[in-house]
Chains A and B, each alone.
Chain A
Amino acid sequence: MDRSEFRQGVRDVLPLLLGVIPFGFVAGLATVNAGLGLAEAVGLSTIVFAGAAQLAALDLIGRDAPLAIVVVTAVVINLRMLMYSASVAPYFQDISNRLKATVAYLLTDQAYALTIARYRSEDSAHSVAYYFGVAATLWAVWQLTTVAGVVLGTNVPESLGLEFAVPLVFLALLVPAMEDSPTTVAGILGGITAVGTAGLPLDLGLLVGATAGIVAGRLTEVAMEGASNGN
């Protein structure tokens, strides 16, 4: 394991923790609100380890929703990771199966966004150590902050809206991801479609918006290639 790449991963993820810390805190708080305790909070954060799905599941559990609905909702929210998995897979083709399983378990929005940005830069060594520096730090902070949320969370006024820090983190990652015209089209159309379909059940709006954005981006690219070829 390349230590300097690992340390670089840890350094790069530090600014993102400002968004992850309140997110984990809110996830711990939501566990208490749903009528569950510390054991369930730790169980969710270690076994599921997916913040948005944890929050949605806890909301439904608290309202005594049918268990099948809770499962389907959490899975649909996490389906975006299928795209992340496909996107990073080429870089992890040659590592052992045990490492692949660990990489997969630790795969999150933030770990994906940072790693793919690093691996796509021209001078990157595509070191798996960089990924683990990012992802393991996120894992440890997530566990600590969900526990803190359970223990201390009842004292934070809900009106502060700490959960708003979560989309702000994604926003800061979104801007560099819109690196040229086709990716900018993908972002704008994906976002607008997701807003328009936000009322769909099971949080399907996220998947619909993301798919619309990807298709729009690809079509834009094809159209631009056609134009530059004089067709």
Chain B
Amino acid sequence: MATSYAAPAIWGLIVVIGVLTFLIRVSFIGLFGYLDEIPPEITRTLRFVPAAVLAALVLPSFITLEPGTGGIAVDKLIAGGIAGGVAWRTENVFMTIGAGMGTLWAVRFVLLPLI
């Protein structure tokens, strides 16, 4: 896995990604000072950003293909499902992580080896 790129290429890469990432982050924050008010249609649409983006980050991490076999990774699916239930009932970050990691380890190290 070790790269054969030399240090200057790596550092160039880090700086370019860093500058572009900053430009993305600063875009609207920098721009809005020049607008009098935000068009209401934009605000109404932005309301859906947290739910849509977070779900798009979360679900593909729970429903993933097992490397090699091509099947669904059972441990992550079960752990994600249980953690989802706990998140729903408690809305607590500690409880959600505890339930998710605990289930992942239980399935991966106890349940699956028995099958």
Contacts and interface: CB of A to CB of B under 8 A. Distances in A.
Interface string B91-115: 1111011001100110011000000
A75 B3 contact: no
B13 A177 contact: no
B49 A83 contact: yes
A205 B14 CA distance: 24
Counting chain A CB atoms within 10 Å of each CB, the highest count among B5, B14, B17, B94 belongs to B17
A213 B88 CA distance: 19
Interface in A156-203: 159-161, 164-178, 182-184, 186-195, 198
Contacts of A89: 28-29, 31-32, 38
A10 interface: no
A30 B45 CA distance: 36
A40 B10 contact: yes
Interface in B2-27: 2-5, 9-18, 20-22, 24-27
Question: Secondary structure of the A side of the interface?
Answer: helix
Interface string B25-44: 11111111100001000111
A165 B100 contact: yes
Nearest to A48: B18
B100 A168 contact: yes
A175 B91 contact: yes
Interface stretch (A1-9, A13-21, A137-145, A146-154): A13-21
A64 B48 CA distance: 38
A86 interface: yes
B51 A177 contact: yes
B43 to A, nearest CB: 7
A79 interface: yes
Contacts of A52: 57
A161 B108 contact: yes
A227 interface: no
Contact of A170 (B22, B24, B44, B58): B58
B26 to A, nearest CB: 4
15 contacts: A35-B1, A36-B10, A48-B17, A64-B4, A71-B16, A81-B21, A83-B53, A104-B25, A104-B29, A170-B54, A171-B87, A177-B50, A177-B54, A190-B56, A191-B60
Given A109-B53, A165-B100, A186-B52, 9 more contacts: A15-B93, A61-B5, A104-B25, A104-B30, A167-B57, A167-B58, A175-B91, A217-B52, A218-B45
